[in-house]
Chain A
Amino acid sequence: MDCHKTCVCASNIVSCSKMNLTNVPLALPKYTAVLDLSFNSITRLRAEWTPDHLSRLHSLLLSNNGLTFLSSEAFIYVTKLRYLDLSSNGLRILDEFIFEPLEHLEVLLLYNNHISQIDRTAFSGLDRLQRLYLSQNSITRFPLELVKERSRLETLKLLDVSSNRIKSLPLYELQVLPAWIKNGLYFHNNSLSCSCDLYDMVARWYLKELNSATDFKSSHTCVIPGQRKEKMAILDLDKAYLNCSEVKTLDEEAYLEQFLVLDCDTRQRDMVKRWALPGNIPLSPANKTAVIRSDGNLQIGPLRLEDSGVYTCYATSDSLNETLYVTVVVFNATTAGG
């Protein structure tokens, strides 16, 4: 490829955006780190779109091309890719192992396509994937394999399946996920059936101020079963239609002599956590009734009435600080009664 005729070559950035291309330019430079092919008419990404290994390529931008076909061997020569933008195209199906060679991929943008079918192994091999955007497609099945405890991708912190046609969510599996995954799990604007379980989950996420709930509050809608397929706001389900029991606070309730584990379930991973007892009293090693665990959670017990109150968890990391409050209510009775 003659760098100065076809595209704009700025050392290792090759910028071919909006250049009326119908195919990927031949003989791309081996040193290319960023390849911008957005806003062209490349409708097919064939196996040999680059016959040579582009071992320095870490960003490939292919949005807005009317792309409808991805060869199963499209990515074998760009295995160092970290960022892949296939958004705003015409993709319909994600085939088995389609992204398997991309073991370094961190961000995958597939929003605004026509995807209705995703093979269960489509995301296989993406061992470093952090952010996956699948919104504005025609997906009907929630990709549970991505978040299910045993099989889930270790590094995935953002999964966006909003604005699709998903009818049901695996509510139980989602509820047991840590906050740092829930924070980035976007499922609003789908075709979910209204239920009190759904209300419960969304209400709790909203109370924990998770981004996926608070940033798109008005888009969290569910479908009332029936002919007209009316939609209503999930968070209104305690006031109308189903009259679900309100989720007001996230109090921990317990009885005397019991043990409780208070979690400091932060929106970010791997934060350094420090607890304070009610009245902002710091923890002391001598105190055997309040012990911080290795996972950052606080174990209190055996409980006495005086242990009621607001426990504070101070969590810090390089970029964020978070403070979580847990209200503990100890009932003046033991579980056995009396």
Chain B
Amino acid sequence: MLCLQVDVDAAASFHTKRSGCLCTADIVSCTAFGLQRVPAEIPVFAVTLDLSHNQLEQLEAGSFTGLVRLETLRLAHNQLTGVHSGAFRNSSGTLLRHLDLSSNQLHVLEQHYFQELPGLEELLLFNNRIVHVESRALAGLTNLRKAYLSHNRLTDFPFFSIQKHSHPLLSLLDLSSNRLPKLPLEDISNLPPAVQAGLYLHNNSLVCECSTYGLFRFWKQRGFDSIRFFQQEHICLVYGRQRGTLRVFQSGRYFENCNLTALKEQQSSVSVKAGKALLLHCLTSLSGSVTFLWVAPNWEYVVPPGNNGSLKMFANGSLEIMAAREQDSGIYWCMALDRQQQRNETWEVNVTVVPHHDRDAHEPFNTGFTTLLGCVVSLVLVLMYLYLTPCRCPPCPKARSPATAAPGNEAGPGSAQSSILTPTPPATTEGPGRKVSTNKHVVFLEPIREQQNGRLRAGQGVGLTGSGLLIGAEQQPRLHRAAETDSIMSVFSDTPIMLP
């Protein structure tokens, strides 16, 4: 008989060694009982079975046969090196929610380990000796919410096996204190947002790299717990002249040359065709009673059910742009607020509405074609000036400023027009005698559409002010735009540019 027969009349003996398991109501507790294998006669009423702190070495097939009510199984602090195929056969199947295998000696997570436990919600595997997780080890665990794999010897992990459809409820994946040398950034950025928000990678053997730095920086900006609570433990290893360990968030200088623009999160930028609907999600790690708020690019505040017009908003934080128009382009900002825990998170999405070519009857040419045409026209005009004008002087060594060909460009509204930036004024003022103003800056603008009611489209990189200065991207509340300040987009304006 496995269960201790409690004699209520006997004197309470606290210090004598127990001669049986404690069985009460729906709990069977056999902790620190010197067990070397799973006992055979475990009572069927067990909903919680605790076999921690014993000397179990293997989980043989059918170890838990007949325990049809089992929901929690604790096997921590044993010497388990493996789980045999069929270990959980004929037990409680989907009822088993919580499995604790921490502090054992597991070596490899083989794909059959959890095959018979499709209802698993919490899986504790920390403090083992796991060097490898087979790619199908976590397959089929569609109810998995939390997986703890820290304090092992992992040098890789099958991130690709975690998808929104395979693990829809996963919100915590702890891979801290392992030996991961390099992160498969593409697989990680393809993880469902809820998993990324609960992915713990601190205290690994990561090589100090811009991409790793960029990922952690991005997570910090998102306010993820993994960074918030373990900032100091995000370390990386430096090779080369200086061998050593760096604290990622205290080594800004080391990473200052990293070009972080390439690390723009894919999901934070979306394009949609004009007229189509677009559903934006407020990606957040908060759960429970969360209220959401969106701010549209025109500074309109949106709460459920929407703005009774172009935007519909759901209680789960999603925002639907019913029929995208070009003026809906821009940055959509959302905030998720958990009043109970007094936490908030923000998220931004950059929406680009791509105009439909067929619908816009006024557009004369596409951009590429107009560029080519402009070049050809300019070339023709230049040649005309050089060879057909009265002056027979040999061509000057210094090239004429092509800006002087401007008169030929004013072909009227509706046609393409080009303007070219001259960093310095031309050396001569020959020709028609036009003096080039030193303040004249030529800029490249996106075509301004009539439909925009004269409003310049927001969110673009450059524009023209009265003083002729380039408006840099600094004024835009976006991440990682610093590097784009000086980039120039080559487009044409179809209205004349008034220069000072």
Please report A residues at the B interface, Cβ cutoff 8 Å: 4, 8-13, 15, 17-18, 29-31, 39, 55, 63-64, 87-88, 90, 109, 111-112, 114, 133, 135-136, 138, 158, 160, 162-165, 184, 186, 189-191, 211-212, 215, 229
Contacts and interface: CB of A to CB of B under 8 A. Distances in A.
Nearest to B50: A63
Nearest to A90: B14
Contacts of A55: 341
Given A29-B229, A165-B8, A191-B8, A11 B22 contact: no
Q: Which of B25, B225, B226 has the most chain A CB atoms inside 10 A of its CB?
A: B25
Nearest to B27: A133
Nearest to B125: A10
5 contacts: A10-B151, A12-B172, A17-B77, A112-B22, A163-B6
Interface of B: 6, 8-9, 12, 14, 22, 24-27, 29, 31-32, 43-45, 52-53, 76-77, 102-103, 124, 126-127, 148, 150-151, 172, 174, 176-177, 200, 225-226, 229-230, 341
Given A15-B127, A114-B14, A190-B8, A160 B103 contact: no
Contacts of A158: 25-26
Nearest to A114: B12
A38 to B, nearest CB: 8
Contact of A184 (B12, B25, B103, B200): B25
A187 B101 CA distance: 33
Given A10-B176, A13-B148, A163-B6, A64 B32 contact: yes
B14 A136 contact: no
Given A13-B148, A87-B22, A186-B25, 10 more contacts: A9-B150, A10-B176, A11-B172, A17-B77, A87-B29, A135-B24, A136-B22, A163-B24, A189-B8, A190-B8
Q: Which 9 A-B pairs have the closest CB atoms?
A: A10-B126, A160-B25, A215-B45, A11-B174, A10-B150, A135-B24, A31-B229, A163-B6, A11-B200
A229 B151 CA distance: 56
A186 B45 CA distance: 13
Nearest to A36: B76
Contacts of A111: 22, 24, 27
Contacts of A229: 9
A8 B77 contact: no
B191 to A, nearest CB: 16
A15 B200 contact: no
Contact of A10 (B26, B29, B77, B148): B148
Contacts of B32: 39, 64
B24 A162 contact: yes
Given A114-B14, A158-B26, A163-B24, A13 B124 contact: yes
Contact of A8 (B6, B127, B229): B127
A87 B21 CA distance: 13
A164 B27 CA distance: 17
Q: Report which residue of B26, B76, B176, B225 has the largest number of chain A beta carbons within 10 angstroms of its beta carbon.
A: B26
B289 to A, nearest CB: 14
B176 A11 contact: yes
B195 to A, nearest CB: 13
A39 B44 CA distance: 27
